[in-house]
């Protein structure tokens, strides 16, 4: 029977990005159909992101630096742009100049700074900056996304199948699961299961549907770690988005959302320690060991190192290279 590595995490925690990285590390590149699907998703990410920024700029009353950009904003002032089917680059082409010009405007930049990722006033996907910064390349008529573009893409429709491979004569299955069907996935017939629980470390001030993202992650983790189905499973916490956390702590104050925090809210090490301790507190005394690692899922070399360490630790049942809660 194969070993199961199951990736679990809240929406936008980086679970799908980590899964894509594992595919690439194992030599499973994306085929043309998948790349075309991700291209459409990237176009949609960009349009939706700019639609949010234009709407919020007007709501916040932030002036545009260049008054000529008022014309470009017209493309994003109604919901019509969200209904366009971007199956071909030609459908996206009319928006490229507007996106490029607006993104360079200090008024839009200030609006982005005040998003809940930066300034906690509204929600916008944290990967949108990458695509805006690359709009001229993405806007070419012959554009086909490369791997880094795909790693930053948020797609509702492009799904990837579970991976099966063999390491040292041992079969592995790597799967990703949303929270709701999680228990069903655990009932599959596997010799052993390792759960990689992925956390958006920079999400401590992000709100989704009036609920704090980190608080939701803590709640789900508590239900998993203390459930009988997982008592014999190896659990590894992956604190993702270290790049964003490093940037966020410079200006954000975690105490606004977690008043129990003690330490310097602008010191990375203090915030990391608090995150680890918060998850540790959800663990019952009689549960097994839980390991953790700090990662940046969009960094392929970082994930290659971490994932190889995970695989060899599973095979040898030796987790000496991991920190323990």
Q: What are the tens digits of pLDDT across the range 21-66?
A: 998 998 889 999 999 999 999 999 999 999 999 999 999 999 999 9
Provide the pLDDT for residue 180: 45
pLDDT of 105 strictly over 80? yes
**Do 138 and 180 fall into the same domain?**
no
- Could you count the other beta carbons within 10 Å of the beta carbon of residue 88? 13
Q: Are strands 192-200 and 170-177 parallel, antiparallel or unpaired?
A: unpaired
Which residues make Cβ contacts (< 8 Å) with residue 119, sequence separation at least 6? 113, 251
Q: Taking the mean position of all CA atoms in its chain, how far away is CA 275?
A: 17
Answer yes or no: is 127 a known binding residue.
Answer: yes
User: 117-126, 160-169, 255-264: which has the highest mean pLDDT?
Assistant: 255-264
Which residues make Cβ contacts (< 8 Å) with residue 232, sequence separation at least 6? 192, 193, 288
Answer yes or no: is 80 a known binding residue.
Answer: no
Q: Residues 99, 46: contact at Cβ < 8 Å?
A: yes
Q: In a 10 Å sphere around its CB, with 0-12 CB exposed, 13-18 middle and 19+ buried, how is residue 219 labelled?
A: middle
**Do 167 and 99 fall into the same domain?**
no
Answer yes or no: is 242 a known binding residue.
Answer: yes
Provide the pLDDT for residue 185: 53
Q: Are strands 207-208 and 211-212 parallel, antiparallel or unpaired?
A: antiparallel
pLDDT of 86 strictly over 70? yes
User: What's 207's domain CATH number?
Assistant: 3.40.50.300
- Could you count the other beta carbons within 10 Å of the beta carbon of residue 133? 11
pTM score: 0.86
**Do 71 and 17 fall into the same domain?**
no
Q: Domain boundary at 98, 129, 152, which?
A: 152
Q: What is the DSSP string of 28-67?
A: ----HHHHHHHHHHHHHHHHHHHHHHHHHHHHHTPPPSST
Residue 165: phi and psi, rounded to 5, are -155, 170
Helix ranges, the chain (H) = 15-25, 32-60, 69-73, 89-103, 106-113, 128-133, 135-138, 147-152, 182-186, 213-225, 242-248, 268-280, 300-316
Q: Which of 45-80 are b and which e, b meaning 16 or more Cβ less than 10 Å from the residue's Cβ?
A: bbbbbbbbbbbbbeeeebebeeeebeebbebbeeee
As a whole number of angstroms, the distance between CA 201 and CA 90 comes to 38
Q: pLDDT by residue (tens digit) across 151-200?
A: 999 876 556 667 776 766 777 788 776 554 555 555 456 667 888 999 99
- What is the number of structural domains in the chain? 2
Residue at token pair 């104050």: 253
**Do 284 and 174 fall into the same domain?**
yes
Task: From 79, 25, 15, 34, select the one nearest 52 (Cα to Cα).
Answer: 79
Q: Residues 62, 107: contact at Cβ < 8 Å?
A: yes
Answer yes or no: is 294 a known binding residue.
Answer: no
**Do 164 and 308 fall into the same domain?**
yes
**Do 40 and 112 fall into the same domain?**
yes
Provide the pLDDT for residue 166: 73
Q: pLDDT by residue (tens digit) across 275-321?
A: 999 998 888 766 678 899 999 999 999 999 999 899 888 887 777 76
Contacts 24+ apart (CB under 8 A), 257-262: 257/204, 257/205, 257/212, 257/214, 258/204, 258/214
Q: Domain boundary at 123, 152, 181, which?
A: 152
**Do 165 and 240 fall into the same domain?**
yes
- Could you count the other beta carbons within 10 Å of the beta carbon of residue 40? 20
**Do 190 and 256 fall into the same domain?**
yes
The end-to-end CA distance of the chain, in Å, is 29
Q: Residues 104, 97: contact at Cβ < 8 Å?
A: no
CA distances from 23 to 70, 125, 174, 273, 304 (A): 43, 23, 9, 31, 11
Answer yes or no: is 11 a known binding residue.
Answer: no
**Do 167 and 295 fall into the same domain?**
yes
Residue 207: phi and psi, rounded to 5, are -115, 135
Answer yes or no: is 313 a known binding residue.
Answer: no
Q: Taking the mean position of all CA atoms in its chain, how far away is CA 71?
A: 33
Domain limits for position 147: 32-152
* Tokens of residue 268, six digits: 């990375």
**Do 72 and 191 fall into the same domain?**
no
């Amino acid at each position: 029977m194969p070993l199961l590595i199951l990736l679990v995490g809240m929406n936008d925690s980086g679970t799908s990005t980590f899964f894509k990285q594992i595919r690439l590390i194992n030599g499973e590149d994306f085929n043309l159909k998948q790349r075309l699907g991700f291209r459409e998703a990237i176009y949609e990410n960009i349009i939706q992101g700019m639609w949010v920024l234009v709407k919020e700029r007007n709501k916040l009353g932030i002036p545009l630096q260049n008054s000529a950009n008022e014309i470009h904003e017209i493309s994003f002032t109604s919901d019509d742009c969200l209904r366009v089917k971007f199956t071909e680059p030609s459908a996206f082409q009319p928006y490229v100049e507007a996106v490029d010009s607006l993104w360079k405007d200090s008024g839009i930049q200030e609006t982005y700074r005040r998003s809940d990722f930066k300034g906690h006033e509204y929600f916008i996907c944290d990967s949108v900056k990458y695509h805006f910064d690359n709009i001229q390349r993405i806007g070419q008529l012959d554009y086909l996304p490369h791997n880094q573009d795909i790693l930053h893409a948020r797609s509702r429709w492009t799904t990837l199948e579970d991976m099966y491979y063999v390491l040292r004569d041992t079969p592995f299955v790597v799967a990703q699961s949303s929270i709701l069907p999680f228990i069903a996935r655990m009932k599959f017939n596997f010799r052993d299961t390792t759960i990689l629980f992925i956390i958006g470390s920079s999400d401590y001030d992000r709100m989704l549907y009036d609920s704090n993202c980190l608080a939701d992650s803590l709640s789900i983790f508590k239900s998993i770690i203390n459930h009988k189905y997982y008592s014999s499973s190896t659990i590894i916490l992956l604190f993702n988005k270290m790049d964003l956390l490093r940037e966020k702590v410079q200006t954000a104050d975690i105490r606004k959302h977690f008043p129990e925090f003690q330490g310097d809210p602008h010191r990375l090490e203090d915030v990391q320690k608090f995150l680890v301790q918060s998850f540790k507190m959800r663990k019952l005394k009689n549960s097994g060991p839980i390991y953790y690692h700090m990662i940046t899922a969009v960094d392929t070399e970082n994930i290659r190192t971490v994932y190889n360490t995970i695989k060899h630790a599973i095979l040898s049942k030796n987790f000496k290279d991991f920190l323990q809660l």
